[in-house]
Chains A and B, each alone.
Chain A
Amino acid sequence: SAVISQKPSRDICQRGTSLTIQCQVDSQVTMMFWYRQQPGQSLTLIATANQGSEATYESGFVIDKFPISRPNLTFSTLTVSNMSPEDSSIYLCSVSGYTFGSGTRLTVV
């Protein structure tokens, strides 16, 4: 199965700034998924990213807040924009139910 390299593994950011999270896959994949895990909560799907088309966002998530890029079949980025403390979460990328990145632990202060 595919292996995902996700970075950064953690970051502490000032409110109002933006952070871009990267996921690199060791093989070509059609779809990549971005999830958020708020403290003490389960994972929630943010969006699905297909190469060559705009990402599809789940209810409650918008492109202006979480812009996603998918420039090729092995790479994707998620940006958390204009951050507030409520954005403090673990963000994970996935390429299937089998394979997740190691997660980015974001703290907004």
Chain B
Amino acid sequence: SQELEQSPQSLIVQEGKNLTINCTSSKTLYGLYWYKQKYGEGLIFLMMLQKGGEEKSHEKITAKLDEKKQQSSLHITASQPSHAGIYLCGADLQIYSGGGADGLTFGKGTHLIIQP
């Protein structure tokens, strides 16, 4: 089974609406990274969370890591066409490492479409 479950797989949202993407692990998340990817291109780093209960925001995007460090959510407020793309969570599942020092395990991604 997938170590990192990401949901939903795809999401169609009307412009201006809020949305949430989830990333759930069966193991402790020692580092959780959120990325955005446009079709066929590389990854754009959004945010990284390490501590239980941590929350970070950048512009209209907020990411949280739960207290148990097994689930993270990415929330977009007042979505815009520029938010469209594929959102990926990547996790550091190895203890004693940080910053993805052992390579990351990725979720399958969420394909976000913004309807005008």
Residues of A within 8 A of B90 (CB): 43, 97
* Min CB–CB distance B88 → chain A (angstroms): 7
Q: Which of B48, B88, B101 contacts A42 (CB 8 A)?
A: B88
Is B99 among interface residues, defined by CB-CB distance under 8 A?
yes
Is A59 among interface residues, defined by CB-CB distance under 8 A?
no
Within 8 A of A (CB), among B93-116: 99-109
Say yes or no: A94 contacts B106, CB within 8 Å. Answer: no
Q: Which of A66-74, A78-86, A98-106 contacts B (4 or more CB under 8 A)?
A: A98-106
Residues of A within 8 A of B42 (CB): 6, 92, 100-103
- State in angstroms the CA–CA spacing of A101 and B105 once bound together: 17
Secondary structure type dominating chain A contacts: strand
- State in angstroms the CA–CA spacing of A48 and B43 once bound together: 18
Is A108 among interface residues, defined by CB-CB distance under 8 A?
no
With A92-B42, A92-B43 in contact, do A42 and B99 touch (Cβ < 8 Å)? Answer: no
Type the 1/0 row for A52-70, where 1 means its CB is closer than 8 Å to any CB of B. 0000001000000000000
Is A33 among interface residues, defined by CB-CB distance under 8 A?
yes
Say yes or no: B109 contacts A97, CB within 8 Å. Answer: no
Is A90 among interface residues, defined by CB-CB distance under 8 A?
yes
* Min CB–CB distance B9 → chain A (angstroms): 10
- State in angstroms the CA–CA spacing of A98 and B103 once bound together: 11
Say yes or no: A97 contacts B33, CB within 8 Å. Answer: yes
- Residue of A with least CB distance to B98: A97
- Residue of B with least CB distance to A103: B42
What is A's interface to B at a CB cutoff of 8 Å? 6, 31, 33, 35, 41-45, 48, 58, 90, 92, 94, 96-103, 105
A–B Cβ pairs within 8 angstroms, 29 of them: A31-B101, A33-B100, A41-B108, A42-B88, A42-B107, A42-B108, A43-B104, A44-B106, A45-B104, A45-B105, A90-B40, A94-B100, A96-B99, A96-B100, A97-B33, A97-B45, A97-B90, A97-B92, A97-B99, A97-B100, A97-B104, A98-B33, A98-B45, A98-B99, A98-B100, A100-B35, A100-B42, A102-B41, A103-B42
